[in-house]
Chains A and B, each alone.
Chain A
Amino acid sequence: DSGVTQTPKHLITATGQRVTLRCSPRSGDLSVYWYQQSLDQGLQFLIQYYNGEERAKGNILERFSAQQFPDLHSELNLSSLELGDSALYFCASSPTPWGLAGGGGETQYFGPGTRLLVL
């Protein structure tokens, strides 16, 4: 158990719909990251937050958005869903943001993921 929680575990929805995925980081971690893993694909970095502020963007579609709240939990919003959005979505957290010099504090701990199926 990494200490990172994600809800829901599974989500089935229809094309065109909107869903919200939730992530609670490990206690004390200020950084949150979101990743997408499609079937037989590698992990794709989507977005990073640090203490409520967006810090880095990866391959995140304009239909997707995220935020980190004052209590440090984060939500990933996926809208106008398409079949190709079906994937595992992982959240990770770390004490300090990935990208700062130094190690250890950058170590990311991943949640169990949310499996999204768009029909």
Chain B
Amino acid sequence: DAKTTQPPSMDCAEGRAANLPCNHSTISGNEYVYWYRQIHSQGPQYIIHGLKNNETNEMASLIITEDRKSSTLILPHATLRDTAVYYCIVRVGKDMRFGAGTRLTVKP
């Protein structure tokens, strides 16, 4: 019963931007949105997090809507190595609830 909703899968062409959406309509005012990814069976990798403002780091950009009910993770120039399951997470009490995530496949 994760508090987020993501599409199960997406494809993206190599070199193009990958835009991964997430709905979190029940988010509370002080809860951050976190994004992680898991490549094959490796440990999940932290990507980015944000509260209200858009955020950017060396890996990705995070766009959060003004009402904070949804967000989009942007990988500006996707490569084959970005093929992974991407998880959008909002805290549920003291738990970090991973939903099913979005399986992003970057194609040549």
Q: Which residues of A contact B (CB under 8 A)?
A: 2, 4, 33, 35, 37, 42-45, 48, 55-56, 58, 88, 90, 92, 97-99, 101-104, 106-113, 115
Contact = CB atoms under 8 A, between A and B. Distances in A.
Interface in B27-41: 30, 32, 34, 38, 41
A35 B50 CA distance: 23
Interface of B is mostly: loop
Range class of the B interface residue count: 20 to 34
B42 A112 contact: yes
Contacts of B91: 98-99, 106
Interface in B1-56: 30, 32, 34, 38, 41-46, 49-51
Contacts of A104: 49
Nearest to B101: A42
Nearest to B85: A42
Given A45-B95, A98-B94, A90 B44 contact: yes
A56 B94 CA distance: 6
Contacts of A111: 43
B30 A97 contact: no
